[in-house]
Structure 1
Amino acid sequence: MPPLLQPPHHSIQVNFDEYCQQKAAPPGSSSYYALRQAPAGRQPLLTALFALRREFEETVKETSDPAIGRTKLAWWQNEIAALAAGTPSHPVSKALAAHLGGGVEAAYPALQTLLAGFEMDLDQARYLDYPNLRRYLQSVGGTFAALVARASAQHPAEAEAWAAPLGHALMLAQLVAELGNDARHGRIYIPIDEMQRFNVTAADLINRKYSEAFTELMRFQTGRARAAIQAALAALPAGERRTQRTLRAQAALALAQLDEIERDGYHVLHQRIALTPIRKLWIAWRAARQR
């Protein structure tokens, strides 16, 4: 196998559940605390899904050469097909095969959509307007949340309708928190027309230029993300609230992080504003137990 077609991580002999845990949810991370709220029997599958998303994300966002990124994504496309055929080789896809069981075939289209969503990062670094950005948010955030929701939902066939909007909203919050890092890597997810409306340029973001205009832009972005999360939580069916502890914990953590960003004056261009592990633990635990 040529070097560029090697799997992104090929220490295949490691325990696949341990690999997924290290990849998706290292201790102290928001994912760690959100995943711990899930029923014990569902945690391995959910952790594998989070690990797969992280693999895709690293492939496109931590690869400087787009050609290499495309080669790695092509490898993952083949690996997802191998998962569907029952012959996975990567620790994450082995974990998915083990924990999805007979559900692999049903999950296959969503896994393809998720991968295609991340592929957009290799094709597009700017978005003209919000409808244009929405395609990305739906492909990545909405699809992933639907996969997570179906893993433990009472009515999996209905999960996408209420889970996808929450995933979309969580992506909006993530883009606010990661704005500075994304800009440094040449990706700006704030729509061009919105930046023009607030008189903020791409150069301002890349050069970490704070201003009143930037503050107003971020107030708008943060407000939209917060409202979207709250609306999606309100639409969560009452009968699914207990089954969706991981997504609810993620939502609570995202809202708390947005509040922290707001309190800090939206200084996200030179740093990533994060919650402390003890706050994450408390917020996730409390959110998962609210009725």
Structure 2
Amino acid sequence: MLQFSACRAARCAPSASDSPRPNPVNFDDYCQQKAAPPGSSAYYALRQASVARQPLLTALFALRREFEETVKETSDPTIGRTKLAWWQKEMASLAAGEPSHPVSKALAAYLGDIEGSYPSLQALLAGYEMDLDQARYLDYPNLQRYMTNVGGTFATLVARATARDPARVSNWAPALGQALMLALFVEALGDDARHGRIYIPIDEMQRFNVTAADVINRRYSDAFTELMRFQTTRARDAIHAALAAIPPDERPTQRTLRAQAALSLAVLDEIEREGYQVLHQRIALTPVRKLWIAWRAARKSS
């Protein structure tokens, strides 16, 4: 379990039929189970942060998971939009000091500058709303808009939570968030396709002669292997470049993001070794390996 030093006494309001609020629950426990259940990559990445910052980081990870579930695990777009509208109101309530959801309560307890963070929280929610508008992206620049709004914004929120100079994280954190999303697109290709979404640009699939039907129907081929080799190489190169761009004085403060990057790189390596067989399965690391990779990455000096 993550060790939280803050009080766990706060409770959330009862759930309502028209909102995604859960039953009354300890908000720290709720955030941990939502964002970082034991054995997950997020669990080991969050453990690398200082005990004092873990509650806030876990709340941010939980919020991202709430947004993600709202749009990606809802088959009816109308229901998804209704839930997103609820979250928009809840973020406004958080900014006004009246949160009702356990994740919002956790953010209210640990996020010092709620007013300053509110635009980023809105941008993150707007990014996930794009999933209700489109399931495919014509080219890489269009996909980058999504990655910027979701991955870039989230990495900036996480980096700002622990940075020595929060005002400057926007110079380097967005690129790392986008790179982590590129790796996730490779890792979760099969899962995403089963939910009706493919985060590989259409023009790139055409270039490698791979169709959406190939992906949805789990058809492997030499063309698919070459496409995934290209996607994997781009994601790996983007992560390395983004890690190198973290200022030296911020590297010790960014243990969670650096651990995430190391875990993503290890998964990409494993996917490559498995011949990019990602359509019928989710290739993952064992918990023991995750622990070792995250611990080692967080403590590297360069």
**TM class, shorter-length:** over 0.9
Residue ranges of structure 1 left out of the alignment (5+ in a row): none
Aligned residue for 1:6?
A: 18
Q: Which runs of 4+ in 1 moved over 3 A?
A: none
Structure with a larger share of its residues in helix: 1
Q: Partner letter of residue 238 of structure 2?
A: A
1:1-291 matches, within 5 Å, as 6-11=18-23, 13-101=24-112, 103-291=113-301
Render the CA deviation track for 1:150-185: whole Å, top value 9, x for unaligned. 000000010111111000000000010000011111
- How far, CA to CA, are the matches of 2:21 and 2:239 in structure 1? 34
- How far, CA to CA, are the matches of 1:7 and 1:272 in structure 2? 31
Render the CA deviation track for 1:52-104: whole Å, top value 9, x for unaligned. 00000000010010000000000000000000000000000000000013x10
Q: CA deviation at 1:7?
A: 2.4
SS of corresponding position for 2:162: coil
Matched length:
287
SS of corresponding position for 2:126: helix
- How far, CA to CA, are the matches of 1:177 and 1:7 in structure 2? 31
Q: Partner letter of residue 121 of structure 1?
A: D
CA contact (8 A) 1:60 1:121 kept: yes
- How far, CA to CA, are the matches of 1:279 and 1:160 in structure 2? 31
- How far, CA to CA, are the matches of 2:142 and 2:171 in structure 1? 21
- How far, CA to CA, are the matches of 2:255 and 2:214 in structure 1? 39
SS of corresponding position for 2:253: coil
Render the CA deviation track for 1:219-255: whole Å, top value 9, x for unaligned. 0000000000000000000000000000000000000
SS of corresponding position for 1:290: coil
Q: CA deviation at 1:4?
A: 8.8
Cα-Cα RMSD: 1.0
Q: CA deviation at 1:10?
A: 2.5
- How far, CA to CA, are the matches of 2:238 and 2:88 in structure 1? 31
SS of corresponding position for 2:163: coil
Q: Partner letter of residue 253 of structure 2?
A: T
- How far, CA to CA, are the matches of 2:220 and 2:292 in structure 1? 32
Percent sequence identity is 78
Comparing 258-267 and 179-188, the one that deviates more: 179-188
SS of corresponding position for 2:252: coil
- How far, CA to CA, are the matches of 1:59 and 1:89 in structure 2? 17
Q: Partner letter of residue 188 of structure 1?
A: I
SS of corresponding position for 1:151: helix
SS of corresponding position for 1:8: coil
CA contact (8 A) 1:4 1:68 kept: no
Q: Partner letter of residue 276 of structure 1?
A: T
Q: CA deviation at 1:9?
A: 3.0
- How far, CA to CA, are the matches of 2:181 and 2:76 in structure 1? 24
- TM-score normalised by structure 1 residue count: 0.97
CA contact (8 A) 1:45 1:100 kept: yes
Aligned residue for 2:3?
A: none
Q: CA deviation at 1:202?
A: 0.1
SS of corresponding position for 1:223: helix
